[in-house]
Amino acid sequence: MALRERENSILEYLERQGSASVEELCRELFVSEPTMRRDLAALNAAGKIIRTHGGAAYRSEPGQNLPQSVREREHFNAKAAIGKKCLSLIRDGDTVMVDASSTAAALLRALDGSKKTVVVVTNNAQAPQLLSQSGIKLFVTGGELALNTYAYVGSHAEDFMRSFHADICFFSVRRLTREGELTDNALAENAMRRVMLSRSRRHVLLLDSQKLGDACMHTLCTLDEMDTVVCEKDISSLFPNDKEKFI
């Protein structure tokens, strides 16, 4: 198989699967590990993939709205660390709104029996499964299930969310620009997030550091409207005007 053909096959496979190990790619393309590692290094240098420990992940374009199955695989360890950090922000008895992003799903996974007095309100269709062993009281909006995601959206879901008042809202978006704009491509999900922000007292952005970059199609809000930004590493120096918000 020629180099260009191999590279196209690698990109097509990663786009379908989200991520893959070197061994998996070798089996798929019938090439040796040294050859595959050279190909991945070249694709990473060209900005076409994200090199991971032992493999590679698909690099989406800013204008692309990825399926949830792909988003869940992206930077899994970073999202898990963010989810655990968020626990310190939740107080006994809080009503918590959580969006359907894959980063917020990591927070749902991190919740355990120590937070049994918390009430969770979400449009994440996976929430009953993620919280099934936690003992936490859960309200799920229902409504139209967005294409390729686990997000309930639309007027029914938004009206359900408006019937609640929350102490804190946890959410994520696809990109944060260096100018402090929170942007995404999913207009219906952004509409739901806007409702959640309007019905909660504190606003917490869950930010995987890989989400810094060019703007996506639609701006939800700005860093000025956030109370806290939770990231897996310290990037506060990039936003000196909002530095105190980062944890």
Distance between CA 123 and CA 160 in Å, rounded?
9
Confidence of residue 74 (pLDDT cuts 50, 70, 90): low
Distance between CA 207 and CA 83 in Å, rounded?
10
| Residue 63 pLDDT | 44
- pTM of the model as a whole: 0.72
Task: Please write the tens of the pLDDT for every residue from 80-139.
Answer: 999 999 999 999 999 999 999 989 999 999 997 778 899 999 999 999 999 988 889 999
- The full set of domain ranges for the chain reads 3-59, 69-245
| Residue 109 pLDDT | 92
Work out the average pLDDT over 226-238: 95
| Residue 113 pLDDT | 73
Q: Which residue has the higher pLDDT, 59 or 12?
A: 12
Confidence of residue 73 (pLDDT cuts 50, 70, 90): low
CA dihedral 142, 218, 18, 146 (to 10 degrees): 20
Confidence of residue 216 (pLDDT cuts 50, 70, 90): confident
| Residue 81 pLDDT | 93
| Residue 158 pLDDT | 97
61 pLDDT exceeds 70? no
Work out the average pLDDT over 217-223: 92
DSSP category for residue 54: T
- The hierarchical CATH code for the domain 69-245 is 3.40.50.1360
72 pLDDT exceeds 80? no
Domain 3-59 belongs to what topology?
Answer: Arc Repressor Mutant, subunit A (1.10.10)
Distance between CA 227 and CA 225 in Å, rounded?
7
H helix or E strand, kind and range, residue 28: helix 22-29
